[in-house]
């Protein structure tokens, strides 16, 4: 069995920022990372084609907003990525369309929250670069979903569904909240919330407070349709990189936004961020919902691109790359209080965009939470 000082579950911005920050702070423990996906990124993951090495598209968050003034520790974490052009400021305009499909200005309140930054060549590159700066002794387990958690007085035990794969750790960090949130009961058809089962109510008041907060919290769901528009001429400076829908337009079409993604060749990728209609999602309904959402989003897309005839015409030869379901695209409310990021009695910590702070629900919030938790863990080690 593999024994570690710390195991981090989830390789999104929060988890990768935590690991990179621990390295900067000189953390000496033996660390493992466990991620259900094929690679790092979390909700900033990128879809790579198995048959086309040049094709890759940001099927989750295409960019993150960053404040002009960042805490010194966060700035130190991101500065190498900026210098190496892995993290690049987006200079293209973004626009919005109203319920009539007409171009309007983006809500100035929203657009004043900071500059957009994207990963190069794709968003997953940001998390990949953060992990590359963590210790060479980091043990990464991708494509592994933790199902079972068990807590003894001095260590954690992690297992997959079959219990054929196991890890043991002195300390545990969840950078996503699926293992601690009741949504796992419906989405994965589990009959328990793993973290609650591992630490029964009453054993750790701080952890009880975290789980009570999460039980009341909810997140948005997105159905993201990915399209390959084929070879599209590059000389289209009037095309925005991101097209938002106003609230009225979102109600009419069930779409949050459309994002364009230039490939390394002349091709253009397009992602439609579709809104959820409230249907129950579980293993028995997901396949049918993926199919119906793909058809729905493909049907409404021509209406959404009326203001860009060239883009609309490109749909005729577009190739679908499928639909990605994000079960927790963005937390809506009830953030976990920042002082509960580290529950010392149970030796479990939390980071991600669902942690309390002025940037709750954002990529910057996830990064800040990872940096803050790294400082707590280093002090407590």
* Cis amide prior to 378 (ω within 30 degrees): no
Q: What does the alpha-carbon distance between residue 59 and residue 47 come to, in Å, rounded to a whole number?
A: 6
Exposed, middle or buried: residue 283 (CB in 10 Å: 0-12, 13-18, 19+)? exposed
- Written as six digits, the tokens of 195 are 């973290």
| Cβ pair 194, 149 in contact under 8 A | yes
| Cβ pair 246, 97 in contact under 8 A | yes
Report mean pLDDT in 10-residue bins for the chain, 381 residues: 91 97 93 95 88 86 94 97 96 91 86 84 95 84 97 96 96 97 92 97 98 97 94 70 96 97 85 94 91 96 95 92 93 97 98 96 97 95 74
Q: How many CB atoms lie within 10 A of CB 73?
A: 16
The pLDDT assigned to 1 comes to 54
| Cβ pair 134, 8 in contact under 8 A | no
Say how many CA atoms lie within 13 Å of 137 toward its Cβ.
Answer: 11
* Geometric angle at alpha carbon 123, from 35 and 43, rounded to 5°: 45
- Name the nearest CA neighbour of 366 among 130, 86, 85, 182: 130
Q: What does the alpha-carbon distance between residue 160 and residue 177 come to, in Å, rounded to a whole number?
A: 17
* H or E, element range at 74: helix 72-83
Q: What does the alpha-carbon distance between residue 261 and residue 48 come to, in Å, rounded to a whole number?
A: 13
Q: What does the alpha-carbon distance between residue 152 and residue 157 come to, in Å, rounded to a whole number?
A: 8
Task: Report helix, strand and coil shares of the chain as percent, to nearest 5.
Answer: 30, 30, 40
Between the alpha carbon of residue 7 and those of residues 19, 275, 291, 295, 366, the distances in Å are 10, 34, 36, 40, 18
The pLDDT assigned to 169 comes to 97
DSSP category for residue 289? H
Between the alpha carbon of residue 266 and those of residues 53, 230, 234, the distances in Å are 14, 8, 7
**Helices 72-83, 363-380: inter-axial angle, 10-degree rounding:** 120
| Cβ pair 253, 275 in contact under 8 A | no
Q: What is the dihedral of CA 18, 23, 24, 28, to 10 degrees?
A: 120
The pLDDT assigned to 235 comes to 46
Q: Tell me, rounded to whole angstroms, the distance of Cα 270 from its chain centroid.
A: 18
φ/ψ of 213, rounded to 5, equals -65, -45
pTM of the model: 0.95
Q: How many CB atoms lie within 10 A of CB 18?
A: 32
φ/ψ of 141, rounded to 5, equals -125, 90
Domains along the sequence of the chain with CATH: 2-45+124-217+333-380 (3.50.50.60), 88-120+219-330 (3.90.660)
């Amino acid at each position: 069995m593999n024994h570690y000082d710390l195991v981090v579950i989830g390789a999104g911005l929060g988890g990768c920022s935590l690991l990179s920050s621990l390295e900067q702070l000189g953390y000496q423990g033996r660390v493992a990372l466990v991620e259900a996906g094929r690679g790092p990124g979390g909700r900033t993951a990128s879809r790579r084609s198995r048959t086309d090495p040049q094709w890759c598209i940001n099927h989750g968050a295409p960019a993150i907003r960053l404040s002009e003034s960042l805490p010194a520790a966060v700035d130190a974490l991101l500065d190498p990525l900026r210098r190496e052009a892995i993290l690049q400021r987006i200079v293209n305009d973004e626009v919005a369309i109203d319920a009539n499909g007409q171009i309007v200005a983006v809500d100035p309140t929203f657009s004043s929250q900071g500059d957009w930054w994207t990963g190069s060549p794709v968003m997953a590159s940001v998390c990949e670069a953060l992990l590359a700066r963590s210790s060479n002794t980091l043990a990464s387990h991708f494509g592994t979903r933790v199902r079972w958690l068990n807590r003894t007085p001095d260590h954690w035990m992690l297992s997959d569904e079959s219990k054929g794969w196991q890890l043991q750790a002195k300390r545990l960090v969840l950078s996503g909240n699926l293992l601690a949130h009741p949504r796992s009961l419906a989405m994965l058809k589990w009959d328990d919330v793993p973290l609650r089962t591992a630490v029964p109510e009453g054993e750790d008041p701080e952890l009880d407070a975290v789980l009570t907060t999460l039980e009341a919290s909810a997140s948005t769901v997105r159905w993201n349709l990915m399209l390959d528009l084929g070879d599209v001429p590059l000389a289209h400076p009037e095309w925005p990189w991101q097209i938002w829908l106003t609230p009225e337009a979102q109600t009419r079409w069930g779409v949050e936004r459309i994002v364009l993604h230039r490939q390394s060749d002349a091709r253009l990728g397009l992602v439609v961020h579709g809104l959820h209609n409230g249907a129950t999602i579980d293993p028995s309904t997901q396949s049918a919902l993926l199919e119906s959402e793909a058809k729905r989003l493909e049907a409404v897309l021509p209406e959404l691109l009326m203001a860009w005839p060239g883009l609309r015409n490109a749909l005729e030869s577009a190739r679908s790359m499928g639909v990605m379901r994000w079960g927790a695209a963005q937390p809506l409310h009830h953030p976990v209080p920042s002082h509960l990021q580290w529950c010392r009695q149970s030796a479990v910590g939390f980071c991600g965009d669902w942690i309390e702070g002025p940037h709750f629900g954002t990529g910057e919030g996830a990064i800040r939470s990872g940096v803050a938790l790294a400082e707590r863990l280093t002090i407590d080690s």
